Structure 1
Amino acid sequence: MSPARSIGAVVMLVTLQLCAGEKTCTVWSDVGSMARHGSSFRVYCSFKCRTSTISMYCYDPTTHESTEQLLEKHNSTTVYFKVDNITWNQTYRCSGVCHTPVDDCGLDMGVGYPPDPPTDISCVNQVFSHERSAVTCTWGRGRDTKLWDSTVLHVRSLHGNYTVAADARSKGRGSRSASVNVSTSVHMIAVWIQTHNALGSEVSAPVNYALGDIAVPPTPVLAQPNCSSRECVLEVQQSMATRHLVVEYGTDTRRWSSNQESVRKGAQMSVTQVPLSSLEPYSLYRFRVRCRFATGLWSEWSEEVSGQTEEEAPAKDLDVWYAEQGSDFKSLRVYWKEANASVSRGKITQYIVRVYSQHSGMDRWMNFTADLRSCLVPFCTDCEVTVWSQNSKGASPPARVSTRYRKDTPFEIELKTLSEHNVSISWRKSETARQQAGYVVEWYPEGHKPEELRWVRLGRKDSSAVITGLAPFECYAGAVYVVYDDGPGNQTTFAGVTTLESVPAAVPSVRESVEKNRVKVTWMEVPRGKRGGCITKYSIYLESESGWRQAYTVPASERTYTIKDLPSAMYSLWVTASTAQGEGPSQRSKVKFLIQYDAQMSLLLICVAVIPVIVLVCLCKVPAVKKRILTFFQCLALDQVPDPANSKWAKECTQETGKVKLQLQLSNCSLTEEEEEEEQDPIVVDVEELPKQGCDGDSPPEVSAQLLAKTRLSCDTKAKGFPYPVTTYIKSFSHNSDSSRHTEASGETGTTIDYISSHGPGHMDEEYLDEDEDEENFGFTMDFFPSHSMAIKGLQSEGTLTLDAVKINCNFFQSEHF
């Protein structure tokens, strides 16, 4: 054959093969297209023509990668490679050059397990009516074969040739189920399961059932319940008569169940009334029910229905407490807690508050909306505050709290941190205290009592409590009250309670007020969220521009501080706050101020005020100036001046020449009773009239020391029954002048009458002194004030002193005895 004919024959053969759909190669394995998980086998590739180039690839669907395999020669047209421990489905492709440039073929290899024997077979007989029922069985399929399985349920009557079968369907992971209809005439059945896949097949052992033992009645139907405040009546509808009913009911937090007898036997359609009592008023209940024949299994639960019981009047009084509002104590803030549903027994519509005082006659009623938990009421020391809650059915019992405090002995309090939100508090009350009704523990963030007051009421036997709901890095205060039947006792307070603490994160806001050489510093509290706990102190830092610095520590309760005696300079000031963990940030908000106070200027002003006084005092030493000043003050004195010369005492003193009887009135404030009796007799002083002498330094006669001692008066002397005024004065008389002339002269207008106290010591010159020269002829200096506590020895005199030589130019006092 010629080459041209040979080439044509080959082309025609290939064309015929392609048209016929035949491939030039074949791929197969020695285990078929399904392999057991973990097995090993060979994959072959065979070409229908001889080729020197053959390759085989394995495609992994999990990684989407193809790997060329190492081939071994089986014969002249066939090669193979070994597969070890296969775990996933694989695709194998064979490639080579035969009659066409490239000729490919391939094999999809499945991997899995043979089926396990079915286990845990469970069957029920679902009864729909007296004529029809269905047996439903479930079983465990074992492990997942990763292959397609075929499973069949077989049911056969044990007393006849009745046999039915049904294909299974999946029911959840690892289990399957199937149902078959069974005649109601069948009583005993045998059940088995058969399953198979490409790698094998299994059949379970048969299980026998009595249909009456696995009979399940139809699921009952619940109608909407009819409820009162304490009872709900359920209506249960059933298509078949059953013997037993179970009703399950409850709220969101609790559930109960109730067993009931079902309807009479044999009824085709039955309705059962099931009453449920002892329910809580104004509560939402949910109900469901299931039933059972005399034998057999319970039905499925019915769908849930809900019903709400009606309201009743609130069962208990409210938990009420109060706190003083502000520092003026003109009002109280009364607080109450919202009662739970079991206590309120309905929707609260309003709160009623009454403030009553028997003594003041106050009887005030107030209504508040249901969303409020506190109110302001007038304050009185003997008030009784009563609070009621009210719903549509009535009001609660009254909750009373009295403002009448009872004195009680404070007791010791111990606090212990339990967690970042809880603190325990305990106390020990005095055993001698009267019987209490209970305790109240209150707490609140410091400075926020009216807004965030919380409290807990305890019994009389309690001695500890747990304070809950505390915020970390917050400072709390509070108190423990002993509560009696007629009112609370004294409070025992506590403060500075915090669970977690840190240094303050901010500085106080500062204001300054400068006055002369002092500055008044005022600051606000650190913002609440940045205090870090309980503030223990404040520190004030003062710094001058020259570098001088001073720190001042202020208690945490203070908000102002005054710094005094600052020299003139420019200053910087800032305030920091501290907790137990340390001091907060500083120097972030400095306040600058200037002190310009001049101490020399102040001294100059003082000198300007003092110099005129000194000049005036010096001028008073000049007789002429002093006379004019005394004349000016005399004009300011009272117009009516008593004249001692006309007094009875002065006339008696002139009856006996040369002798004057001076009766000294002594105070009895510092004398004993014996001394007082001894002093009842007046002390008579003999005044001897001396001849005229000069003013050139004659020594005065001696005064009896006994007289001086008896004329000293105490600082708090009080006159008692004096025959003459306490402060008496002696008018001057001259032995050479007529007494009547002196009497007339004393009454003239503008005439200056001078006096000396009768308590004065010594003698003075009897020489008559002119009005112009009287001050020069006085040889002694005396502070003339009619004080009863004047000491006699304090009077110093020079020369002699006579009645005629003594005159005083000022009318200091008046006496009704003249």
Structure 2
Amino acid sequence: MMLSSWMLVTAVLVTSAGGASDEDDTQPCAKVHTSSSAVPLGSPVTATCVIRKDCLLVTAQAAPIEWRLGSDFIPSSPVANERFRVSKVVVSSFNHTRAVLTCGVCLPDNESSFQIYAGVEIRAGYPPQIPQNLNCQANFTYRPTLTCRWDPGLQETHLPTKYTLYTQIWDLDKNYTYELPSGVHHYTIPRSNFVLFSEMKIYVKAENNLGEAASVPIILEPVGAAKFDPPKIRAITADPKRLGCLKLVWRLSQNQEWMYFNCLNLQVQFKAAGSGQWSDPLTFPNRTRSPRPMDLCRLLPGTEYLAQIRVQYKQSPWSEWSSSKSGVTPETAPVGRLNTWMKVSKSQMHKQLDVQLFWKPSRRFRANGQNVSYVVSLQKRLGERWKVCSTGMNHCTFKLSARVKTVYLTAVNRAGASSPTEVWIYQTKAQTAVLDVTAVPHDGSFLVQWTTAAPSDLTGYVVEWRPLLKSDLSHILFEIVDKNQSSLSLYGSFEPYKPYGISVYPRFKDGIGPPQTVDAFLQQKAPDVAPKMQIKKIWKSSFELSWDEIPLEQRNGIIKDYKVFYWEDKGVVKAVTVEPKERTVILRDLNTGTLCEAFMMVSTFGGSLNGSTIHFEVEPFDVVAVAMTVIASGVGLMIFIIITVLTCLIKHKRLKGHFCPAVPDPANSSVKRWTLESNQYIRSSWESEEPNPVYLSHLSFLESTAILNKEDDVWLNSTDDTSDLGESICGSPFTPGCSGSNSDSVPYATVFFSGPPLKQPHVYLRSQSTQPLLETEESFSPKCYQNVTRDEMSREQCFFSPCDGCSPEREKESTIVWDDFPFLQALAMNDAEND
């Protein structure tokens, strides 16, 4: 806005000059007078606007003069001169750092348009402050120079401020002045305008429209204000005669080696190798004209140290620190104890223990050497020790007998060995003390907290942590914790997105309890990969999807959950959330014959990642259902077979009678015994003249045709009728004219002994056997029965069905004497009853 106002003022002035008379061509038509163009901020400002009447621009505009500060209207006083039109204005408080004050008139046809006649820019601010912290520094690197710097002050002046640097060399009586542009607060004096070993006076002055101020002068010798280049450590050596001391040899930089003199100071700082903090600087004055070696003492023996040095001349600035150089103090035997942590498990060998022993230096332990090794040994008789392990690591694995109760750990270097640290072998106990463990990241570390049951024999805890992606035992770290403590902060070089296993073991008086372990990440993000889903099973309208676990090195955090999104063709997207430990999910209620899509989103507590999309189709015919039906049928059939076999085994004899009946043995038939006994009995009866005949109740040979035809079955039609015995017995394999094993007749025999035939009714018992009698090569019966009576010895009689040489007519004419054939007497009696 200020720039546009200035352009407008310039245009008005040019126009006014064009409208004046010839003699007043050099006079502007209007002019604004102020007391000063720069005023203190907030002070009053008075201004007067004078406009000539003969200006054509003014005479054409018959309107009162008005004032404006920037775009704001300011009231003014009336005209007080006849020849010139004069207006005066007073700004009670000028609060702008820079503004344009203008005078002009408003056009009568357009009151919103302001015609400017003249104007002036007014700036407000503060007088300069006294420059502070003036200092000058010489540089002797390549081209010696002297650079002076100062601070302009805390308050901004808001006005253009000029600085001037004044120097005066007393020995030469020369003065130099250096004017600087506004805003520049430093200046470099060339080498020709100062002398290294001559004192000079230097000060700086600040000026603006409201005043000026000068700094406090300083007097210095340029060489005393020089900042030297970093010196160089030539060597750090150990003195064997002085334990704990190092000798440091140094020199100045190559460009400044000529500047050795008495008033040079030296500072040294050092630290042990591996430490992150330097010691406080030690100052050594150099009183000779050449650099002399320095001795660093009270250092730990056998320890590597890094050292740096810097120099200054009198009160000049210190140089930058030199590069580091290392040295090792003379070694002595290690001292102090070691903190130990032992993990014991039973070996597969009989009465053997697998031992993992870890250790680290305690606060009082000093290795006192560089090449330190550690020895684990057993105490033997007569003070001897048996070495079981020797290593330069912080752990050792070995086997011990279950009878060993103590081992000894010793630190060894070239100067000697430390006192042995006694380590008790604690057995593993099943007693649980630690209930829950949590690990929370906090400022590059882990805050581990746990809860405990606090049993009476609890003596403390062991907190163990290690990176899960590194299997080397050297990465296992531990800390011994008091029993009253329930939290611990773990510090170390933890990497983000890498898993760490943190375990808390309870320690008892006589053993170590089982640990509680938790996985922790310092920082988490989305996994590098998402699981690839695949179809595991198919049911009717359902799919089971499975996936593999993400490798530990690609998880980048703790898996929070799996979420499966799936949808049918042009359908609504559905989602199923699966727990981190699950590896399968079932998608249900899908429509048959539709194309479905699905993808998985795996999430950690630091981000999520989507997997690839898979496609599958629900078939109308469910193969799985059919397969399940077939499997169920097969299982049912197998159960039936198993039950049947068990039944056969349990009722073996009964089933054997049905499927494998016993075949009678004619050679051992009881009928033969009965016949012999009967004949013996009859003969004895005849001798005693007391007849006691034995009767055969039933004898039958059943035709196979009669078995197949129930109507012709003699046993089904009548149990009392035995008139067909003559025909049935002809089916016997011993009868001539009947076939052997190929015959269709099946011999049946039922034998029952009874008393006198007239006193008791006949009882008939049918044999259940359907098997034919065994055939033998030798026949024990005649092919055709012949009965020979006492009177007619030459007559043949066929008692059964017609046979060769026997006719029915002859059978009828024959007279049978049953006393001679007691075996067939029952048949005759039965036949008589039927007649």
TM-score over 0.5 for the alignment? no
- Please give the range of the TM-score, normalised by the shorter of the 2 chains: 0.3 to 0.5
Q: TM-score, normalised by structure 1?
A: 0.43
Q: Normalized per residue, which structure has more helix?
A: 2
Q: TM-score, normalised by structure 2?
A: 0.42
